[in-house]
Amino acid sequence: MSAVLKRVWPVLVFILKRLALLAIVLWGVTTVLFFIMRLSGDPAELFAPQEATPEQIEALRVDLGLDGPVWQQYLSMLAGAARLDFGDSFAFRQDAFGLILERMGPSLTVILPTLILMVVLGFVTGIYAALNQGRARGRSLMTAVFVLDAIPYFIMALLLVLVLSIQFQLLPASGNVDGRGLIIPVVALAIGGFATLARLVRGQMIDALGQTSVQMARSKGISPAQVLFGHALPIALPPLISFIGMMFSFLLGSLIILETMFNLSGVGALLVRAVQSRDFALVTAAVFFMAFLITIVNMLAEFIVTLIDPRLRSKALA
């Protein structure tokens, strides 16, 4: 084995293991979802008119691809999932996966600004509180953070609607015509996320500032900014990056409630409608894609943490 291959091989093994894990996660999600959806009832009876005869219901069942044995439907679903072909949506009569991709755009316009706002405010607040530990301003700031962290995001969204939409009429209460309709959902989500992240950043930075290597850097006369960002922050980063990856999962799941509340045409509201109408193809495509995104983002966070932390890097690539 050449020297280059010896260096690349552990990285390839690491990537292959994560891809295998991704495949297992997606198989497990689609399998559990398949059997839960089948236990929920017959979509043919739901979509058929009230006056439909048994023959008409059976014809609709054949049209929806639900006439075969359960095991046959399961294998067909797995084969289609491998090709990203989940069939047509029962309700919309168009490709289910294509519809999910179409609605993911509006959802990302909520998630990405929220994530950026949450990270910036969380790091600034947490670092400032760590540098002012034991002082009145540091304690006051963390008290406010604890209060904000205790308010659920959907309650915060309702409070913002009450103040900004109803009382002062500055922002629309629902919909998103000119982009202003996204401000309240983004701010409501970011407040809770930034408060939790700020607490974690503060704790990690306090621990990092007390490390021997950081104390030695201070004793050498290095500037406070270089000590903070060049020595303390890299020590504190690994768990913070992992938490940000988990927060992406929370933000994606929260869209199910917020998009319904604010009448936004994203994948969250679409999933709610699909579940209510027992739209097997659309539910499977939505959950499959959301599970894929969540797993990929968390694996990316794990990879970044592995690159940053030499101890984890040597263990993972061993």
**For residues 109-134, average pLDDT:** 92
Residue 46: pLDDT band by 50, 70, 90 thresholds? low
Specify the range with the lowest mean pLDDT, choosing from 48-62, 70-84, 122-136. 48-62
* Burial environment of residue 286 by CB neighbours within 10 A (0 to 12, 13 to 18, 19 or more): buried
Specify the range with the lowest mean pLDDT, choosing from 157-161, 217-221, 230-234, 257-261. 217-221
Q: So what's the pLDDT on residue 278?
A: 77
Q: So what's the pLDDT on residue 141?
A: 92
Q: So what's the pLDDT on residue 315?
A: 58
Q: At what angle do helices 267-276 and 280-308 cross, to 10 degrees?
A: 140
Model confidence at 198: pLDDT above 90: yes
Q: So what's the pLDDT on residue 45?
A: 66
Q: So what's the pLDDT on residue 8?
A: 65
Q: So what's the pLDDT on residue 312?
A: 58
Percent of the chain with pLDDT over 70: 87
Q: So what's the pLDDT on residue 125?
A: 94
- 192 versus 137: the higher-pLDDT residue is 137
Q: What is the pLDDT of residues 5-28, one digit of tens each?
A: 566 666 677 788 888 988 999 999
Q: So what's the pLDDT on residue 4?
A: 59
Q: So what's the pLDDT on residue 274?
A: 86
Model confidence at 202: pLDDT above 90: yes
**For residues 65-79, average pLDDT:** 79
Model confidence at 317: pLDDT above 60: no
Q: So what's the pLDDT on residue 117?
A: 94
The domain 101-310: what is its CATH number?
1.10.3720.10
Model confidence at 123: pLDDT above 90: yes
- 178 versus 155: the higher-pLDDT residue is 155
What mean pLDDT value characterizes the chain? Answer: 84
**For residues 43-65, average pLDDT:** 70
- 258 versus 58: the higher-pLDDT residue is 258
> Tokens standing for 97?
């996966």
Residue 316: pLDDT band by 50, 70, 90 thresholds? low
C-alpha to C-alpha distance for 227 and 281, rounded to whole angstroms: 54
Model confidence at 64: pLDDT above 70: no
Residue 294: pLDDT band by 50, 70, 90 thresholds? very high
Q: Token pair 């198989």 is at which residue? A: 27
C-alpha to C-alpha distance for 247 and 185, rounded to whole angstroms: 16
C-alpha to C-alpha distance for 309 and 318, rounded to whole angstroms: 14
